[in-house]
Structure 1
Amino acid sequence: MKVVVSIGGSVLVPEPGADRVAEHAAVIEDLISEGCRIGAVVGGGGVAREYIGAARDLGANEIELDQLGIDVTRLNARLLIAALSEESVTAPALDYEEASEALRRDDICIMGGVAPAQTTDAVGAALAEYIDADLLIYATSVPGVYSADPNEDADATKHDRLSATALVDAIAGLEMNAGASAPVDLLAAKIIERSGMRTIVLDGTDPDRIARAVRHGDHEGTDIVPEGAGAEPTYWASDER
């Protein structure tokens, strides 16, 4: 089973320290030992936002800010690589072709950002489409996709299941509200819709939730189901063992 896991920077590195990174690395290696082929994309999180804020105050333009954010995502990716076994890759893949080649060699594929004006949400969706993954997981700091930003609206309700088209509509609605935060950005949602990629958005602060979702489809997040697909995929990773 080919799986892409997009891990938010604030999920992987909520503050400087090794524990959370090591826990996510252990889950990735466990899934690989069970036969999964894993690509992981790592975001920039709070550190990226702090650097971008400082650089904006210093007069950097938006492309320069994007590039700074990419650099931070790659630093976070290197932290994850450092926590993996010595047989892992030694540096983040810089593009989709390099990432795909790593997976063909049965290496773990780790990426950060790729290009300005593209978030790691979109990188995760594009990588999943590029390698024809069976499953895309967004490990975020919220439990799924909501009808509104739960940090701003006490009446926001979580969607247990959405079509890819409904995901695009939901994210577009969230992003129209200034200050609102969406668990997946609009470009990523459109790539998911285009590719028909089976996707799960979940709270990844406990990495065991990622493992359960990959092995059994067991999660409390939001299922993004391709048009015309059944209620469940034809198999989960546990069925391959």
Structure 2
Amino acid sequence: MSMPEPVHKRILLKFSGEALLGDSDFGISSEVLSKLARQVCEVMDIGVEVAIVVGGGNIFRGEGLAGGGMDRVTGDHMGMLATVINALAFQDAIERAGRKVRVMSAIRINQVCEEYIRRRAIRHLEKGRVVVFAAGTGNPFFTTDSAASLRAIEIDADLMLKATKVDGVYTADPMRDPTATRYDRVSYDEVLDQRLKVMDQTAIVLCRDHKVPLRVYDMTADGDLMKIVTGDTSVGTLVDGTNE
């Protein structure tokens, strides 16, 4: 049986920290992590280069503590460290699934992982390694969504994927509004104008200005990542310059 041909050769996957919770209220679900690692390895088996950005909300949110009186910059630095923990967990899970991984941090933590250098990251991808980008952009006040858009641009990704627990972008929250309908395709400007909850506005503007297509999909659905990289446009919602 011949292997399917990918239409996207280099992708960047964005996982929120909350995506790793599973049924727990805190921490990392080994079951969820193993499932995501298996999906990554499956698309790599057909020649797709994979980079990952992961948040830290399952462990710590700097913005939340700042609301309680903590210095925002300190809180954000703590949040960056939480993303490093998640990145190392991804590294372990993907390596156990049979692929080589490099964690690259935007803040220096060299005894734990590499520091982020763009050319080195691209070289890792070209050599068939998964690259997990940790610590966001390395700057306070910027989300890991913005970091994902930035890294996707820097590594020249064909597609950025926002992994969620719903099957795309809706006109309203489908958990609260039963009349909400899913978009098959929506433009960057529509996302911004209608304040659709896809990614934060800075992340969307970066994607728009640098023409990085974004697809929002349900990471819990087995096989959907493979369908996307092999050209199935019925999965999730595509955000791009539709009206250009």
User: Residue 201 of structure 2 is aligned with which of 163, 177, 186?
Assistant: 186
For 1:157 and 1:47, locate their aligned partners in 2 and report how far apart those are by CA, in whole Å: 32
SS of the equivalent of 2:157 reads coil
Paired-residue identity, %: 27
User: Residue 99 of structure 1 is aligned with which of 121, 131, 134?
Assistant: 121
1:66 maps to what in 2?
Answer: 76
- TM-score, normalized by length of structure 1? 0.79
User: Residue 145 of structure 2 is aligned with which of 121, 129, 133?
Assistant: 121
CA separation of 1:13 and 1:154: change in aligned 2, threshold 3 A: same
CA separation of 1:219 and 1:82: change in aligned 2, threshold 3 A: farther
Q: 2:216–2:238: 8 Å Cα contact kept in structure 1?
A: yes
2:4 maps to what in 1?
Answer: none
2:15 maps to what in 1?
Answer: 7
* 1:152 CA displacement: 5.0
2:210 maps to what in 1?
Answer: 195
SS of the equivalent of 1:20 reads helix
CA separation of 1:11 and 1:55: change in aligned 2, threshold 3 A: same
For 2:55 and 2:128, locate their aligned partners in 1 and report how far apart those are by CA, in whole Å: 23
1:42 maps to what in 2?
Answer: 54
Structure 1 unmatched runs, 5+: 175-181, 230-241
Q: How does 1:1-241 map to 2 (within 5 A)?
A: 1-14=9-22, 15=24, 16-49=28-61, 53=64, 57=68, 59-85=69-95, 88-94=100-106, 95=116, 97=118, 98-112=120-134, 113-114=136-137, 115-170=139-194, 173-174=195-196, 182-206=197-221, 208-227=223-242
1:233 maps to what in 2?
Answer: none
Tell me the amino acid that sits aligned with residue 44 of structure 1: G
Q: Which has the higher helix share?
A: 1
2:109 maps to what in 1?
Answer: none
- TM-score, normalized by length of structure 2? 0.78
* 1:142 CA displacement: 2.7
For 1:154 and 1:62, locate their aligned partners in 2 and report how far apart those are by CA, in whole Å: 37
Tell me the amino acid that sits aligned with residue 21 of structure 2: V
Number of aligned residue pairs: 218
Structure 2 unmatched runs, 5+: 1-8, 107-115
* 1:4 CA displacement: 0.7
Question: RMSD value over aligned CA atoms?
Answer: 2.5
* 1:56 CA displacement: 5.2
SS of the equivalent of 2:59 reads helix
Q: 2:158–2:213: 8 Å Cα contact kept in structure 1?
A: yes
